[in-house]
């Protein structure tokens, strides 16, 4: 799978409560509120099941986006450290 490669399994999982999950969960809840408002239903009282569904979907999308982000950062770090290890002449200590 392109979005979540198998190499991702070697990384520790992100915390369940992270900034992406919270943010996208909130965006999902606001989306349900806007849907109620546009359809002229009571904003907070109508469609509680829809509010929970949109919040849950947003939360899990945020979790997997955080997993993907951590994988990309780990891959860049691995490539950078490999480059530094292969070219030590470009990275001499400041005192020498």
Look at the chain and report how many structural domains it folds into: 1
Would residue 96 count as lying in a domain?
Answer: no
Distance CA 64, CA 53 (A): 17
Would residue 58 count as lying in a domain?
Answer: yes
Alpha-helical segments (H) within the chain: 19-38, 48-86
Q: Rounded to two decimals, what is the model's pTM?
A: 0.79
pLDDT in tens, 27-83: 999 999 999 999 998 888 888 999 999 999 999 999 999 999 999 999 999 999 999
Would residue 40 count as lying in a domain?
Answer: yes
Would residue 91 count as lying in a domain?
Answer: no
User: Containing domain of residue 67, as a range?
Assistant: 16-85
Query: According to the model, what pLDDT value does residue 1 have?
Result: 47
Give Cβ neighbours of residue 91 (< 8 Å, ≥ 6 apart): 84
């Amino acid at each position: 799978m392109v979005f979540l490669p198998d190499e991702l399994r070697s990384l520790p999982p992100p915390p369940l409560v992270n900034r992406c999950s919270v943010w996208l969960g909130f965006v999902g809840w606001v989306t349900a509120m806007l849907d109620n408002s546009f359809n002229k239903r009571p904003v907070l009282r109508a469609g509680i099941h829809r509010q929970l569904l949109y919040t849950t979907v947003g939360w899990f999308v945020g979790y997997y986006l955080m997993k993907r982000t951590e994988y990309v950062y780990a891959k860049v770090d691995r490539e950078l450290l490999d480059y530094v290890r292969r070219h030590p002449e470009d990275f001499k200590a400041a005192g020498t």
